[in-house]
A and B are shown apart, each in its own frame.
Chain A
Amino acid sequence: DAMVIQNPRYQVTQFGKPVTLSCSQTLNHNVMYWYQQKSSQAPKLLFHYYDKDFNNEADTPDNFQSRRPNTSFCFLDIRSPGLGDAAMYLCATSKSGGRDGELFFGEGSRLTVL
């Protein structure tokens, strides 16, 4: 049974048209992450929430925002997608106090920008 669910799995948008990707989890984990993974590259951390505390990576563009309205849900907003934002976006969760490094990933949302 899927524990980290991402929607949509595939998203096509036009250059500059805002996009929202969603992530939900049934694990009740308090930490949620968004990673960006471009073709044939490693996942790159954009930001994470530790409970309600938002932690942005220093090199994450301002174009990327996130919301976490409750424990179960987290959203990634791309305000004005550019061609370079085409990628797989991975949501992950972890349990603080659990085994460090054991992130539970969703299947990803693949974004295409036309």
Chain B
Amino acid sequence: GESVGLHLPTLSVQEGDNSIINCAYSNSASDYFIWYKQESGKGPQFIIDIRSNMDKRQGQRVTVLLNKTVKHLSLQIAATQPGDSAVYFCAENRGYSTLTFGKGTMLLVSP
């Protein structure tokens, strides 16, 4: 039969807008989360991380927010640029840096 590929959730923004990418997790014992960026044809690249004893962490143009009550984290990208176009994954560290990746969101930035 015909196979149907999975479709990534997609966020389309205009250059200069702020972007917010969301991620939900299920394990309330999870204590360390990481965001990765994957450009087409490349391996994932570390962006920013956050531990469960924090609810916010900022980097250069990026902010990660963690809401442990509802088991949700988000990645905010300020002044989004075309070079930010990629798939973004949240990941949970299970220990010894063995990561379990979430489903991913494709960010499309138009000029």
Residues of A within 8 A of B (CB): 4, 31, 33, 39-45, 48, 50, 55, 90, 92, 94, 96, 99-108
What's the count of A-B pairs with C-beta under 8 Å?
Answer: 72
User: Is the CB–CB distance between A100 and B97 below 8 Å?
Assistant: yes
Known: A101-B91, A107-B41, A107-B43. A42 touches B97 (CB 8 A): no
Residues of B within 8 A of A (CB): 5-8, 32-34, 41-46, 49, 89, 91, 93, 96-104
User: Is the CB–CB distance between A103 and B96 below 8 Å?
Assistant: no
| Listed residue (B6, B41, B49, B98) with the most chain A CB atoms within 10 angstroms of its CB | B98
In the assembled complex, 23 residue pairs joining A and B whose CB atoms fall closer than 8 Å, in A order, are: A40-B8, A41-B104, A42-B89, A42-B101, A42-B103, A43-B44, A43-B99, A44-B101, A45-B100, A48-B96, A55-B96, A90-B43, A90-B44, A92-B43, A100-B32, A100-B93, A101-B34, A101-B46, A101-B99, A103-B44, A103-B46, A108-B41, A108-B42
Of all chain A residues, the one with the shortest Cβ separation from B33 is: A101
Tell me how far the C-beta of A58 lies from the nearest C-beta in chain B, rounded to whole angstroms: 12
Residues in chain A near residue B45, CB distance under 8 A: 105
A75 to B7, CA, bound (A): 31
Tell me how far the C-beta of B27 lies from the nearest C-beta in chain A, rounded to whole angstroms: 15
Give the contacting residue for B96; candidates A31, A104, A107, A108; CB below 8 A: A31
Given A100-B97, A101-B33, A105-B45, output 8 extra A-B contacts at Cβ < 8 Å: A31-B96, A33-B98, A45-B98, A48-B96, A100-B49, A101-B34, A101-B93, A103-B99
Residues in chain A near residue B99, CB distance under 8 A: 43, 45, 101, 103
Shortest 6 CB-CB distances between A and B: which pairs?
A105-B43, A42-B101, A101-B34, A94-B97, A40-B6, A101-B93
